Structure 1
Amino acid sequence: MGRTPEQFGAWIRGRRTGLGLSQSQLAQRAGVSVRGIREIEHGRIPSPDNPSVLRLKAVLGLDTEPEPRPEAEPGRAPRLRLDILGPLTLHVAGRRTQPGATKQSSLLALLALHPNTPVSLEEIVDILWEDHPPASSLNMIHTYVTRLRRLLAPAARPGEPSGGVLLRTRAGYLLDLAGGGHESDAARFTTLASLPEDANEAYAQAESALRLWRGAVLQDMPSRLREHPSAVTLTRLRLTVLQAYADSALARGTTDNAVHELRRTADLEPLHEGVHARLMLALAASGEQAAALSLYTALRDRLDDQLGVRPGPELTDAHLRVLRGDLPPPATARTTVSPAPAPSTPQVVPALLPYDAAYFTGRADHLARLDALLPAAGEGPAGGSGVCALTGAGGAGKTALAVHWAHRVRDRFPDGQLFVDLRGHSPEGPVRPVEALTRFLLALGVAAEAVPGTPETAADLYRTLAAKRRLLVVLDNAVDAEQVRPLLPGGPGCLVLVTSRDRLAGLAARDGARRIGVDVLSPAESRLLLHRTLGAERVDADPRAAAELAHACGHLPLALRIAAANLDHTPWRTLEEQAAELRDGDRLSALAVTGDATTAVRSAFDLSYHALDAPARRMFRLLALVPGPETGLDAAAVVAGVAPAEAAALLERLTAAHMLREHRAGRYRRHDLVALYAAERLRLEETAADRRAASEALYTWLLTATGHCARLLYPGQPPLPPTGTDGDGDGGRADAVPPPRIPDAAAAIRWLDDELPNLAAAVQQAAAERHPASWRLADALRGHSWTRKTAVDWAALGRAALDAARAADEPVAQAAMHNLLGATELHQSLPYAAIPHFEQTLALSEVGGWPEGTAVALTNLASVNWLVGRLTRGAEYLEKATEIDRRNGMPDGHPVVLLTLGITLRDLGRLTESLDRLRWAERAPRNLDSQHNRILTHANLGRTLYLLGEPARATHHLATALTMVRESGEQGSEAYVLRFQSSVHRDTGDLTTALDMATTATRLFDEDGEEYYRADARIALGSVLLALDRPDEAEVVYREALKLAEERGADELRARALLGLAAVTDPPDREQVCRALDIARGTEHLLVEAEALTALAGAELRHGEAATAAAHAREALAVHRGTGHRKAQAEALDILGRAVAATGEEDPAPYRQEAGEIFRALGIPVQRH
Structure 2
Amino acid sequence: MDELLEDAAKVGTMGQLARVLRELRVRESGRAGQPRLTYRRIAALTGWSHGIVGEYLAGRVLPPTDRFDELVRLLGTTPDEQRALASARDRVEELRAAGVPKGDEAPRQLPADLVMFAGRTGQLAHLDGLLDRRRRAIVVSGTAGVGKTALAVHWAHRMTSTFPDGQLFLDLRGFGPSSRDPVSPFDALGVALGLLGVPPAQVPADAGARARRYRQLLRDKRMLIVLDNASTAEQVRPLLPGTGAALALVTSRSDLTELVAADGAYPVTLDLLDVGEARALLAGRIGAVRAEREPAAVDAIVAACARLPLALSVVAARAALHPDFSLAAIAADLTGARSRLDALRSDDPKADVETVFSWSYQRLSPNTQRLFRLGGLHPGPQLGIAAAAAIAGLPRETVLPLLAELVRAQLVIEGRPGRFGMHDLLCAYAADLTRVADPASERAAARKRLISHYVEAATAAAMALNPSRDPAGLPAPAARKVPDGEAAAWFEEERTALIGTVQLAVACGADREAWRLAWAMADHLDRSGRWGDWIATQRAAVGAAERLGDRAALALAHRSLSGGLIRSGRHEEARRHLRVAFDLFVELADHAGAARCQHALAWLLETQDRFAEAVAHDERALKLFGLADDPVGQARALNSAGWHRARLGHHDVALECCEEALELQRALGDAAGVAATLDSLGYIHHRLGDHDRAIERYQDALLRYAEQGDRFNEADTSIRLGDTWAAAGRWDQARAAWTRSLSTLDVLAHPKAGEVRSRLQHRGAGPTTLSGPLLPIPAN
Q: Quick check: 1:369 aligned with 2:117?
A: yes
For 2:462, the equivalent position in structure 1 comes to: 710
For 2:394, the equivalent position in structure 1 comes to: 642
The 1:687/1:648 distance shift into structure 2, 3 A limit, reads same
Secondary structure (helix, strand or coil) at the match of 2:649 reads coil
The 1:499/1:844 distance shift into structure 2, 3 A limit, reads farther
- By how many angstroms is 1:868 displaced? 0.8
Question: How many angstroms apart in 1 are the aligned matches of 2:693 and 2:502?
Answer: 47
The 1:967/1:804 distance shift into structure 2, 3 A limit, reads closer
Q: Quick check: 1:760 aligned with 2:760?
A: no
Question: How many angstroms apart in 1 are the aligned matches of 2:426 and 2:463?
Answer: 37
Contact 2:566–2:574 under 8 Å retained in 1? yes
- By how many angstroms is 1:782 displaced? 0.8
- By how many angstroms is 1:766 displaced? 0.5
Q: Quick check: 1:869 aligned with 2:665?
A: no
Contact 2:545–2:551 under 8 Å retained in 1? yes
Question: How many angstroms apart in 1 are the aligned matches of 2:667 and 2:279?
Answer: 48
Quick one: which amino acid aligns to residue 391 of structure 2? V
- By how many angstroms is 1:1010 displaced? 3.9
Question: How many angstroms apart in 1 are the aligned matches of 2:352 and 2:753?
Answer: 55
Q: 1:1032-1086, CA deviations, whole angstroms, 9 ceiling, x for partnerless residues?
A: xx5xx46xx8xxx8xx9x9x9xxxxxxxxxxxxxxxxxxxxxxxxxxxxxxxxxx
Question: How many angstroms apart in 2 are the aligned matches of 1:670 and 1:990?
Answer: 50
The 1:561/1:807 distance shift into structure 2, 3 A limit, reads closer
1:330-369 matches, cutoff 5 A? 365-366=113-114, 369=117
1:736-815 matches, cutoff 5 A? 743-771=482-510, 772-790=512-530, 793-815=533-555
- By how many angstroms is 1:646 displaced? 0.9
Question: How many angstroms apart in 1 are the aligned matches of 2:356 and 2:272?
Answer: 25
- By how many angstroms is 1:895 displaced? 3.6
Question: How many angstroms apart in 1 are the aligned matches of 2:123 and 2:408?
Answer: 37
Quick one: which amino acid aligns to residue 507 of structure 2? A
- By how many angstroms is 1:398 displaced? 5.1
Q: 1:817 aligns with which of 557, 562, 565?
A: 557
Give the structure-1-normalised TM-score: 0.36
Q: 1:553 aligns with which of 349, 357, 370?
A: 349
- By how many angstroms is 1:905 displaced? 1.9
Q: Quick check: 1:837 aligned with 2:621?
A: no
Q: 1:613-669, CA deviations, whole angstroms, 9 ceiling, x for partnerless residues?
A: 3x4454445434432223222112123322111112334455667765655543334
Question: How many angstroms apart in 1 are the aligned matches of 2:596 and 2:612?
Answer: 18
Secondary structure (helix, strand or coil) at the match of 1:627 reads coil
Q: Quick check: 1:518 aligned with 2:333?
A: no
Q: 1:951-972, CA deviations, whole angstroms, 9 ceiling, x for partnerless residues?
A: 6654543453355567777664
Q: 1:734-780, CA deviations, whole angstroms, 9 ceiling, x for partnerless residues?
A: x9xx88x7742222222112111111110110012231111111111
For 1:938, the equivalent position in structure 2 comes to: 678
Question: How many angstroms apart in 1 are the aligned matches of 2:316 and 2:359?
Answer: 15
Secondary structure (helix, strand or coil) at the match of 1:789 reads coil
Secondary structure (helix, strand or coil) at the match of 1:869 reads coil
Quick one: which amino acid aligns to residue 641 of structure 1? G
- By how many angstroms is 1:903 displaced? 1.0
The 1:408/1:880 distance shift into structure 2, 3 A limit, reads farther
For 1:23, the equivalent position in structure 2 comes to: none
Quick one: which amino acid aligns to residue 627 of structure 1? P
Question: How many angstroms apart in 1 are the aligned matches of 2:615 and 2:111?
Answer: 69
The 1:830/1:658 distance shift into structure 2, 3 A limit, reads same
1:166-565 matches, cutoff 5 A? 365-366=113-114, 369-370=117-118, 399-400=146-147, 508-509=292-293, 518-519=313-314, 553=349, 555-556=351-352, 558-560=354-356, 562-563=358-359
Secondary structure (helix, strand or coil) at the match of 1:369 reads coil
Contact 1:475–1:499 under 8 Å retained in 2? no
Contact 1:911–1:948 under 8 Å retained in 2? yes
Question: How many angstroms apart in 2 are the aligned matches of 1:809 and 1:362?
Answer: 69
Question: How many angstroms apart in 2 are the aligned matches of 1:992 and 1:1016?
Answer: 15
Contact 1:812–1:844 under 8 Å retained in 2? yes
Contact 2:725–2:733 under 8 Å retained in 1? yes
The 1:721/1:375 distance shift into structure 2, 3 A limit, reads closer
1:1021-1040 matches, cutoff 5 A? 1034=765, 1037=766
Question: How many angstroms apart in 1 are the aligned matches of 2:558 and 2:290?
Answer: 39
1:962-977 matches, cutoff 5 A? 962=702, 964=704, 972-977=712-717
Q: Quick check: 1:957 aligned with 2:697?
A: yes
Contact 1:982–1:995 under 8 Å retained in 2? yes
Q: 1:251-297, CA deviations, whole angstroms, 9 ceiling, x for partnerless residues?
A: xxxxxxxxxxxxxxxxxxxxxxxxxxxxxxxxxxxxxxxxxxxxxxx
Contact 2:614–2:644 under 8 Å retained in 1? yes
Quick one: which amino acid aligns to residue 117 of structure 2? R
- By how many angstroms is 1:930 displaced? 5.3
The 1:742/1:791 distance shift into structure 2, 3 A limit, reads farther
Question: How many angstroms apart in 1 are the aligned matches of 2:538 and 2:149?
Answer: 36
Contact 2:665–2:674 under 8 Å retained in 1? no
The 1:962/1:658 distance shift into structure 2, 3 A limit, reads closer
Q: 1:26-68, CA deviations, whole angstroms, 9 ceiling, x for partnerless residues?
A: xxxxxxxxxxxxxxxxxxxxxxxxxxxxxxxxxxxxxxxxxxx
- By how many angstroms is 1:879 displaced? 2.1
Question: How many angstroms apart in 2 are the aligned matches of 1:957 and 1:849?
Answer: 38
> Please, which moves more after superposition, 364-373 or 920-929?
364-373
Question: How many angstroms apart in 2 are the aligned matches of 1:552 and 1:1005?
Answer: 50
The 1:640/1:408 distance shift into structure 2, 3 A limit, reads farther
The 1:519/1:375 distance shift into structure 2, 3 A limit, reads same
The 1:369/1:783 distance shift into structure 2, 3 A limit, reads same
Secondary structure (helix, strand or coil) at the match of 2:664 reads coil
Q: 1:1078-1137, CA deviations, whole angstroms, 9 ceiling, x for partnerless residues?
A: xxxxxxxxxxxxxxxxxxxxxxxxxxxxxxxxxxxxxxxxxxxxxxxxxxxxxxxxxxxx
Q: 1:783-839, CA deviations, whole angstroms, 9 ceiling, x for partnerless residues?
A: 111233349744433333332222222223333333343233334333344322333
Q: 1:193-248, CA deviations, whole angstroms, 9 ceiling, x for partnerless residues?
A: xxxxxxxxxxxxxxxxxxxxxxxxxxxxxxxxxxxxxxxxxxxxxxxxxxxxxxxx
Quick one: which amino acid aligns to residue 452 of structure 2? T
Question: How many angstroms apart in 2 are the aligned matches of 1:881 and 1:402?
Answer: 68
Contact 1:894–1:928 under 8 Å retained in 2? no
Q: 1:487-541, CA deviations, whole angstroms, 9 ceiling, x for partnerless residues?
A: x7xxxxx9976789x989975326598998614999xxxxxxxxxxxxxxxxxxx
Question: How many angstroms apart in 2 are the aligned matches of 1:908 and 1:648?
Answer: 60
Secondary structure (helix, strand or coil) at the match of 1:668 reads strand
> Please, which moves more after superposition, 773-782 or 976-985?
976-985
Question: How many angstroms apart in 1 are the aligned matches of 2:153 and 2:595?
Answer: 53
Q: Quick check: 1:899 aligned with 2:694?
A: no
Contact 2:538–2:560 under 8 Å retained in 1? yes
Contact 2:464–2:483 under 8 Å retained in 1? yes
Instruction: Count matched residues.
Output: 494
- By how many angstroms is 1:475 displaced? 7.5
Q: Quick check: 1:623 aligned with 2:375?
A: yes
The 1:845/1:408 distance shift into structure 2, 3 A limit, reads farther
The 1:624/1:892 distance shift into structure 2, 3 A limit, reads closer
> What's the RMSD between the two structures over aligned residues?
5.2
